[in-house]
Every structure is written in C-alpha cells, then in structure tokens.
C-alpha cells in the first residue's frame, strides 16, 4: 500500500479471491454496496484494462465514496488509517538475511494540518490522480482528483488539494436537520370502527417511519428540504403496517438543483376491517344474542 506495488496487488488478489477475475468481482460487489454508481474494476492495482463488458474505470465522486468508507465506516478503518499514515516501513525476508524498506508516497500528509489519509495514482490515460482526506474542527473532508496533470506536472495535485481543502474548511459546517416525524389521519370509508358502532367513521393514523436526524456538511446557501408524497387510499380494508407513501429529503443547492438524500416510508399504525357481509352478520348476531 505504501509503495503502490502492482505485482503485490495481483498476488493479494489471487490469494484472497482465487484469481484476479474473482477478486475484481468482489471489488465490484463491495463498490456497489457502498454506493458507487460509476465504477467497474477489472484490475486490482488500477492499471488500464478492458473486458467484454466495459473498461476498468471509476469517477471522482465514487473514489471519494470509497475513501470516505475506508476512513469512517469500514470495520478496518482504524487499521487502514494506521497503515496509510505510516511514513516508512522496514521488513525482512523469511531467512532474516535481506531487509526491505517502503516509503509512503503520500507527501500531502506533511503539507496540511489534519491530513488523515490519501492515495496517489497514475496511468497514461488517467494522468496523475489523488484521493485524500483531512479532518479539521470535527469536520472530515475528502478530495478526489483525476487527470491532475501529466508528466512533468506531478505536483499539480498537491496545490489543487490545498485549494479545495481550504475552501471546504472555510465555507462548510455540520448542520443537523431534525423535525418531528410526520403523521396523518384519514377517515376510512366502508370501514368498521373499533368501537363496534356501525355509524361511526373509523380513522387510520399514518406515521413516518422512525429514522435518525440528517447531519451533513453544508455551505451557508445550502439547505435540506422534505416533501410528503402520499398515495394512500382511504378505503377499507386497511392492514396494520400498510404503506401509504414516503417522505423525501433533499439537499437543495445554491443553483436551485436538488439531490435526493433519503426516503422515509409512511405506514398505517392501525388496521380497519371492511364492512362486508361477514361484518354485518357478526354485528346482527352480537346485537341480538349477546
């Protein structure tokens, strides 16, 4: 990991997956699991390749998702940070006669306070690339750069990272969006009231599913909005837990565009029986014989 050693990546892939192809399938499965939408892995080391399906490739936003997962949510996050923050590492062969030293290629670790992790990369098609993370004042920022210069412009990425991280630190802060969970009541036509009164109109209460408040790094001119989308038909029968729509939470940006963040389901918290022949028969029997 420190030396970006391509042959070692292949050896690990064959050991873990049984073959490069099977390991790439595991990589693609994990990428999809953490939300990558524009990523297709063929090689375990990032070198250019293609198969009958697509070419090996990804996007800046997917690389940022991967880095974010590695440093914040992965079960191995602590170990990942320890390795990627190591400046140098020396080890010996099995005989103990030869020593090897590896140097961390991520020079940005020494360029900015709060630098957490990062990975350099280069191919002839992609140019110089870098994905890095910085933590400052409790906020974590991730930058992904692709095509950031070609030889002999190896240092462009460090300057661009500084500008982007500085912009994020100066303009973004965590904000939490929390409001009471939505609830709605509907009078149900053709339904039987729980009281047993045939003339009473039963009511169903719809409730938004419980979920955590949304906490995001936002700029001053960005905000979170929510919209209710109800598709509930107020007709019996209604079953407990029946879906009645959803609440959609959006990130509204300064240019007016919106990004969907989260959907919360809306469900019936009680059921209502339909007034059918079985209901009226039971009502008559209970009225006259009970």
pLDDT at 281 over 90: no
Span 69-82, average pLDDT: 97
User: Tokens standing for 77?
Assistant: 């996050």
In the prediction, which pLDDT does 285 show?
A: 72
pLDDT at 217 over 70: yes
- Give the least confident one: 19-28, 170-179, 191-200, 219-228: 191-200
In the prediction, which pLDDT does 288 show?
A: 73
Backbone angles phi, psi at 139, to 5 degrees: -110, 135
Q: Which residue has the higher pLDDT, 260 or 279?
A: 260
In the prediction, which pLDDT does 175 show?
A: 92
Q: Which residue has the higher pLDDT, 279 or 207?
A: 207
In the prediction, which pLDDT does 280 show?
A: 66
Structure pTM?
A: 0.77
The beta strand positions in the chain, using DSSP E, are 88-92, 99-103, 115-123, 127-136, 139-145, 172-177, 183-187, 191-192, 203-208, 214-219, 223-230, 243-252, 258-268, 273-274
Average pLDDT in the chain: 93
């Amino acid at each position: 990991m420190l030396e970006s050693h391509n042959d070692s990546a292949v050896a690990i892939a064959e050991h873990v997956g049984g073959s490069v192809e099977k390991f790439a399938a595991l990589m693609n499965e994990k990428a999809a699991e953490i939300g990558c939408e524009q990523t297709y892995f063929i090689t375990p080391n990032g070198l250019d390749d293609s198969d009958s399906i697509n070419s090996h490739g990804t996007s800046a936003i997917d690389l940022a998702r991967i880095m974010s997962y590695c440093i914040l949510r992965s079960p191995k996050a602590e170990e990942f940070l320890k390795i990627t923050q190591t400046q140098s590492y020396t080890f010996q062969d099995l005989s103990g006669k030869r020593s090897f030293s590896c140097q961390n290629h991520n020079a940005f670790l020494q360029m900015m306070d709060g630098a957490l992790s990062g990975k350099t990369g280069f191919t002839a098609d992609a140019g110089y690339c870098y994905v890095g993370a910085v933590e400052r004042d409790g906020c974590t920022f991730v930058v992904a750069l692709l095509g950031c210069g070609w030889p002999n412009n190896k240092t462009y990425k460090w300057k661009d990272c500084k500008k982007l991280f500085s912009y994020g630190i100066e303009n973004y802060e965590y904000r939490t969006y929390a409001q009471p969970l939505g609830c709605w009541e509907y009078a149900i036509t053709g339904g039987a009231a729980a009281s047993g009164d045939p003339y009473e109109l039963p009511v169903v209460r719809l409730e938004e599913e419980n979920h955590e408040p949304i906490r995001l790094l936002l700029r001053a001119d960005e905000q979170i909005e929510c919209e209710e989308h109800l598709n509930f038909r107020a007709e019996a029968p209604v079953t407990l837990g029946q879906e009645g729509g959803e609440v959609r939470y959006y990130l509204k940006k300064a240019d007016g565009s919106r990004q969907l963040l989260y959907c919360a389901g809306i469900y019936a918290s009680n059921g209502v029986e339909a007034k059918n022949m079985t209901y009226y028969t039971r009502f008559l029997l209970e009225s006259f014989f009970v």
